[in-house]
Structure 1
Amino acid sequence: MYETQEAFTRYLPSEYRSAITYVQVNGRTKIAIKGKISEYIPNPTFEVVAPPGAQEDFYRRDNPEGKSLREIFGTPIPCPDWARTAEARLPHLDELGLDGALMFPTLASLLEERMRDDPDLTHAVVHSLNEWIYDEWTFDYQNRIFATPIITLPIVDKAIVELEWCLDRGVRCILIRPAPAWGLRGPRSPGLPEFDPFWARVQEAGVLVGMHSSDSGYADLVSIWEGSTEFLPFQPNPFRSLVMANRAITDMMNAMVCHGAFTRFPDLRIATIENGGTWVKPLVDGLESIYKKMPQEFDEHPVESFRRNVYVNPFWEDALEGLVDIMGPERLLFGSDY
């Protein structure tokens, strides 16, 4: 889904209202978080977007001509209504032959990283966005379109309150950033026992957890080599791509396994979304290796806990053969960032 300019602020309490603003820069609308303009998404209004399928050739045969992203995206089109509301989306699902779909927010992926020094603000803005999502999409539209509210984890008690609010409104899938939780004591692994009250409620409710690729803070790793700059996913950078590719989702899964969350909550269902599938084999190989050296540090085989708790959405261009062998076909999900 594409958010409107009021998505973050429609329900934002007045004391936080100045944290999210839209400003004009050389005639273009930009979003500013805590007074700092973000270029993470170049056009945060989504008035025009790349047409569906624009990158098909890029992923089918790579980019031997070295085209720019602007050339690859082609001529933009007005934002389709089916990217804005569930009502317009439903006939589009019929057209595509889909029974149902999870719908994830887009601009929301920049929020948490740019507010990580202010947990209270993070929780307030995320709740405001969730209210907007519920207004515009609901969380379960005719049992076919399932919009995913965000649960941010810095303050566990507030995360549980947010989860309960979503459950009261029929949520079927929640969205959690694959990243450390930046709380009052700094960054912490969501797999540590201090987060158990939250995961216990998620497991009890049986709600699916989507972990969609996001700005997970890994630009910090690039900055120690290239200097401190904002993560700009739409500006090509080979070094950044190599450093950051698969890193966030791999670390998140390793944290959930090695810090024991999957073992303590064996019925958690985690769907990794828009992270591809090429990271799975190296992760499994790493877990196999570490288990051989430190079996006493695990209450069960780490690979088994990973396979039991996780579903994977491979990229369109990923080879499925090896992935099916590792995960099984019932653990693979179809997804399209169209």
Structure 2
Amino acid sequence: MVDSASVPIFDGDNHMYETREAFVKFLPDRYKSAIQYVDIGRRTKIMVRNTVSDYIPNPTFDVVARPGAEEDFYRNGNPEGKSRREIFGEPIRAIPAFRAPGPRLEAMNEYGVDRTLMFPTLASLLEERMRDDPEMTHTVIHAFNEWMYETWQFNYEDRIFSTPVITLPIVDRAIEELEWAVARGAKAILIRPAPVPGYRGSRSFALPEFDPFWAKVVEHDVFVAMHGSDSGYARFSAEWQGEQSEMRPFQMEALPMLWALRPAADAVAALACHGVLHRFPQLKVAIVELGGRWLEPLLNDLAYVYKKMPQGFAENPVDALRRNLYICPFWEENYDYLGGLIGKDHVLFGSDWPHPEGLAKPRSYIDDLNALGLPDEEIAGYMGGNLAKLMNIGASIS
């Protein structure tokens, strides 16, 4: 049993809460009206292109659910059928650690977290709501990245690695954004796990059209994180449910919850089937905060299809995924079992702090891994060693 105090933690899934200026401070004047905050009754909402969004109930994040509020829900389920509000409990006022890197380091020190990947929260709504205007999408995303760099940097004291968003509709613009981010210290980038919208419709990011972009990713040895986002699947859900609605992460409806992991399976299937992993065998892609339950069925399905039509693949797709793919699953899942499917060194720990569905104390997860009776070196790998090797940096700050 490993001593929990001795294991370095490189948390693969932390979040910032954006301020009200995040999307608009660097936005060119011609797009100023695209993002607005509006007061409706006693609530403030974000309005994207003149449409009020309920994607996040309180987009100002002035008041939020406490970190780990849903921990019991994810450990033990919801036998009493409580509402989401009942599960969340009393909200808290946002603290500086949610908003800025200096206070965040203090919180990391308090909780014993050495390093972390830092993802945005509200920004995950942007691309889907601008999908019919690629030029606007690139401009708005760049303005947000400028705010992220000014506020958080992309490498803060070699401990907080914030992930600039790279949107892909116009390949040359995506390369330009990647080069801009790398020049400012980015070691990891965030790409939405969804088809890429464009002027002629949507297409897979793994098609040869995007090879110039992936070539630059490999050239710079940048780690690609595909984090849970609004991947546009509400459009398909609406056709089954008979209503048009946007994705709302905190809703409790059976069918959308059942389909919540579909973007992960579909994105990984595209990586495997469209050959980008064969063309770029050094590409490093992780699926973050989309669980791991989709992994085994997908590997089985790919093996089945490959057996029937190997001529449709550049190489065995299961082998390609076990070489290039990493997963940062939900903390309540069995890391050891998933490691057996994809490789022990391809599973990454993520606490999702400070989101309510995450862990209140990230270091507590070592106790969960100890309970599985895992070797010390595997626990150390899951808790940070694997991610440190992936990003070519140390897991510990000492």
Do they superpose with TM above 0.5? yes
After TM superposition, the structure 1 = structure 2 runs for residues 249-328 of structure 1, keeping only pairs within 5 Å, are 249-328=264-343
- The answer to whether the 8 Å contact 2:119/2:162 transfers is yes
Partner of residue 61, structure 2: 46
1:15 to 20, 24, 30: 30
After TM superposition, the structure 1 = structure 2 runs for residues 1-338 of structure 1, keeping only pairs within 5 Å, are 1-226=16-241, 227-242=243-258, 244-338=259-353
In the alignment, residue 19 of structure 1 is paired with which amino acid? A
Cα deviation per residue 1:209-265 (whole Å; 9 max; x = unaligned)?
1100000000111111122112222121102222x2221111111111100011101
- The answer to whether the 8 Å contact 2:66/2:92 transfers is yes
Structure 1 CA distance, aligned partners of 2:36 and 2:167?
A: 21
Partner of residue 4, structure 2: none
Cα deviation per residue 1:302-326 (whole Å; 9 max; x = unaligned)?
0011111111111111123421211
> Taking structure 1 as the reference length, what is the TM-score of the superposition?
0.98
- The answer to whether the 8 Å contact 2:63/2:94 transfers is yes
Cα deviation per residue 1:71-90 (whole Å; 9 max; x = unaligned)?
11111111121111111111
- The answer to whether the 8 Å contact 2:336/2:344 transfers is no
Cα deviation per residue 1:106-145 (whole Å; 9 max; x = unaligned)?
0001100000011111001100000000011000001110
Structure 1 CA distance, aligned partners of 2:68 and 2:246?
A: 28
Structure 2 CA distance, aligned partners of 1:104 and 1:239?
A: 27
Q: Secondary structure at the match of 1:186?
A: coil
Q: Secondary structure at the match of 2:39?
A: strand
In the alignment, residue 248 of structure 2 is paired with which amino acid? L
More relative contact order, 1 or 2 (CA 8 Å, 6+ apart):
2
In the alignment, residue 250 of structure 2 is paired with which amino acid? F
Structure 2 CA distance, aligned partners of 1:204 and 1:176?
A: 17
Structure 2 CA distance, aligned partners of 1:269 and 1:279?
A: 19
Structure 1 CA distance, aligned partners of 2:339 and 2:250?
A: 31
> Taking structure 2 as the reference length, what is the TM-score of the superposition?
0.83
Structure 2 CA distance, aligned partners of 1:314 and 1:165?
A: 30
Greater shift, 84-93 or 126-135, is seen at 84-93
In the alignment, residue 22 of structure 1 is paired with which amino acid? Y
In the alignment, residue 57 of structure 1 is paired with which amino acid? D
Q: Secondary structure at the match of 1:103?
A: strand
In the alignment, residue 250 of structure 1 is paired with which amino acid? A
Greater shift, 14-23 or 228-237, is seen at 228-237
Structure 2 CA distance, aligned partners of 1:210 and 1:231?
A: 21
Q: Secondary structure at the match of 1:291?
A: helix
Q: Secondary structure at the match of 1:181?
A: coil
In the alignment, residue 235 of structure 2 is paired with which amino acid? D
Structure 1 CA distance, aligned partners of 2:299 and 2:41?
A: 48
In the alignment, residue 210 of structure 2 is paired with which amino acid? F
Cα deviation per residue 1:155-202 (whole Å; 9 max; x = unaligned)?
101000000110110101100000011011111100000000000000
- The answer to whether the 8 Å contact 2:119/2:163 transfers is yes
Cα deviation per residue 1:18-50 (whole Å; 9 max; x = unaligned)?
000000101211000000000010100000111
Structure 2 CA distance, aligned partners of 1:229 and 1:61?
A: 30
Q: Secondary structure at the match of 1:143?
A: coil
Q: Secondary structure at the match of 1:311?
A: strand
Q: Secondary structure at the match of 1:255?
A: helix
Q: Secondary structure at the match of 1:188?
A: coil
Structure 2 CA distance, aligned partners of 1:320 and 1:330?
A: 11
